[in-house]
């Protein structure tokens, strides 16, 4: 009798399980199963919902669960963004600190809110040797028109010119030797102030010096506190010679040798 | 289901599903993986008779339907029938030899493909064709796996 009982039990189990399977086949379970699968997949691997396929899969999920999952996805994206911003901020802080350190090392007093930007000289125009040079930083680096451009010579910061034209990735530096350049300056020997003007040659001319001022060759010429572009006390050059006084003029002039030969400049410092 | 505690049954079910998922996800070559749960159902039927095999087949079939998003209940019905048929013929056929196991598994694999395909056709108007590669190579893959699973069953469950 035992085999018959087992056979009958097997037949009953077969009928029951087959009936359950057939009932399952008739039930519209595809959508809820997809929804459950989407939820489970999100728990284990949230990134599978990225892109168009993810949007399609999310559409299957019930509204409340979808909102939670979307909030979770958004939360993850924002966390990544925060981490990225944190890295950018740390990098910026590092650059700022480096700028401050370099500026301090060079003895440069940068006005509040201004930063130092280094650039490389990338091009010189042979036809305008004393007029301008191109540097490899531009608008995207925060370079602005008329920004002061300095150069380094034996550890000393000296005046090179100002930004005359700004492009996206490059800028044109109008050299202090250009005819259209002028810088308010004073002599190191006293408080005598004048205006340095370019000549289009290797030499500069310092005009509007007080007629009674004593100008001696070798006097250093520094930027004045009245300069709108340059910080005060930056070396412009040295007096080469004083011009003979013109009785018809109320001031005297001097020839100034620039502190740096533009042809020797490879890197520049831009105050932005 | 003498000798089977609920815990062992549940553990076997979960283990079977996990191994099947792992194998098909990480160890399939050119999309080919053995139908581990179908072979396990046949092994259970050959060793324990139709009732445990049908129970496992039903549960594993539901899991496969959920995994593969097939017609819900189709795979479970196929595995229930496989468990019943193998459980019924085990008294007429010696399933201890490797050759007999391979014959049963190969025939079961082709019958499984055909049956589930026809069920899909009946309910969704679309014949579920696994592709020629799967249709021809899966039985070989399953035949290679079958003796190993029989041995594992004897070693782990029956001992």
- Who among A9, A18, A25 is closest to B72 (CB)? A25
Q: Do the chains contact at B69 and A20, CB–CB below 8 Å?
A: no
* DSSP-assigned letters across all residues of A111-122: PTT--EEEEEEE
pTM attached to this predicted model: 0.52
Asked if residue B54 lies in contact with residue B84, where contact means CB atoms within 8 angstroms, the answer is yes
pLDDT at residue number A165: 92
Cα separation of A178 and A197, whole Å? Answer: 8
Whether B2 has a pLDDT exceeding 60, the answer reads: no
Q: Which residues of B touch A36 (CB under 8 A)?
A: 66
Q: Do the chains contact at A14 and B50, CB–CB below 8 Å?
A: yes
Length of chain A: 272
Among A21, A30, A33, the residue to mutate for chain B (most B Cβ within 10 A): A21
- Cα angle A209, A214, A219 (rounded to 5 degrees) comes to 85
Q: Which residues of chain A have a Cβ shorter than 8 Å from any chain B Cβ? A: 6, 9-10, 13-14, 17-18, 20-25, 27, 29-30, 33-34, 36-37
Q: Name the residue ranges covered by the structural domains of chain B.
A: 6-158
Whether A36 has a pLDDT exceeding 80, the answer reads: no
pLDDT per residue as tens digits for the range B17-64: 999 888 888 877 777 888 899 999 999 998 888 999 999 999 999 988
Q: Residues 49 to 108 of B: which have CB under 8 A from any A CB? A: 49-51, 54-55, 57-58, 61-62, 65-66, 69, 71-74, 76-77, 80-81, 84, 87-88
Distance in Å from the first CA to the final CA of chain B = 16
Whether A266 has a pLDDT exceeding 90, the answer reads: no
Whether A38 has a pLDDT exceeding 80, the answer reads: no
Q: Do the chains contact at A14 and B66, CB–CB below 8 Å?
A: no
**What CATH number has the domain spanning A116-271?**
2.40.10.350
Q: Name the residue ranges covered by the structural domains of chain A.
A: 2-76, 116-271
pLDDT per residue as tens digits for the range A214-247: 888 888 999 988 888 888 888 999 998 888 777 7
- What fold does the segment set B6-158 form as a domain? Arp2/3 complex 21 kDa subunit ARPC3 (1.10.1760)
Winning range, highest mean pLDDT, from A133-147, A182-196, B89-103: A133-147
Asked if residue B130 lies in contact with residue B24, where contact means CB atoms within 8 angstroms, the answer is no
Could you give the ipTM of this predicted complex? Answer: 0.83
Asked if residue A166 lies in contact with residue A147, where contact means CB atoms within 8 angstroms, the answer is no
Distance in Å from the first CA to the final CA of chain A = 101
């Amino acid at each position: 009798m035992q085999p018959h009982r087992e056979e009958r039990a097997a037949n009953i189990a077969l009928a029951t399980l087959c009936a359950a399977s057939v009932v399952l086949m008739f039930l519209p379970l595809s959508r809820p199963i997809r929804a459950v699968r989407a939820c489970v997949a999100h728990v284990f691997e949230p990134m599978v919902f990225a892109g168009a396929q993810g949007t399609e899969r999310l559409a299957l999920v019930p509204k409340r669960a979808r909102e939670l999952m979307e909030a979770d996805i958004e939360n993850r994206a924002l966390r990544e963004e925060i981490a990225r911003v944190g890295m950018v901020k740390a990098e910026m802080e590092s650059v700022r600190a480096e700028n401050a350190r370099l500026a301090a090392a060079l003895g440069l007093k940068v006005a509040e809110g201004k930063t130092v930007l280094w650039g490389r000289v990338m091009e010189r125009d042979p036809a305008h040797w004393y007029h301008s040079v191109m540097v490899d930083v531009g608008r995207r680096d925060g370079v602005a028109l008329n920004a002061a451009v300095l150069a380094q010579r034996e550890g000393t910061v000296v005046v090179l010119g100002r930004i005359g034209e700004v492009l996206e990735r490059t800028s044109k530096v109008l050299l202090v030797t250009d005819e259209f350049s002028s810088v308010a300056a004073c002599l190191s020997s006293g408080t005598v102030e004048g205006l340095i003007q370019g000549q289009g040659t290797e030499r500069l001319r310092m005009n509007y010096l007080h007629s009674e001022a004593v100008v001696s060759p070798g006097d250093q010429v520094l930027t004045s506190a009245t300069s709108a572009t340059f910080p005060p006390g930056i070396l412009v050059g040295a007096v080469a010679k004083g011009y003979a006084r013109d009785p018809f003029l109320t001031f005297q002039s001097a020839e100034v040798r620039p502190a740096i030969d533009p042809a020797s400049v490879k890197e520049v410092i831009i105050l932005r | 289901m003498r000798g089977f505690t609920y815990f062992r049954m549940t553990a076997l079910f979960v283990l079977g599903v996990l191994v099947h998922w792992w194998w098909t996800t990480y160890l399939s070559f050119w999309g080919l993986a053995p139908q581990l749960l179908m072979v396990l159902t046949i092994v259970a039927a050959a060793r324990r008779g139709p009732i445990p095999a049908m129970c496992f087949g039903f549960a594993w079939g539901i899991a496969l339907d959920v995994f593969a998003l097939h017609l819900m209940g189709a795979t479970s019905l196929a595995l229930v029938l496989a468990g019943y048929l193998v459980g019924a013929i085990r008294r007429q056929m010696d399933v201890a030899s490797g050759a007999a196991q391979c014959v049963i598994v190969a025939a079961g694999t082709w019958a499984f493909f055909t049956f589930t395909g026809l069920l899909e056709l009946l309910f969704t108007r679309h014949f579920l064709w696994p592709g020629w590669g799967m249709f021809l190579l899966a039985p070989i893959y399953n035949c290679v796996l079958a003796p190993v699973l029989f041995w594992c069953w004897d070693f782990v469950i029956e001992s």
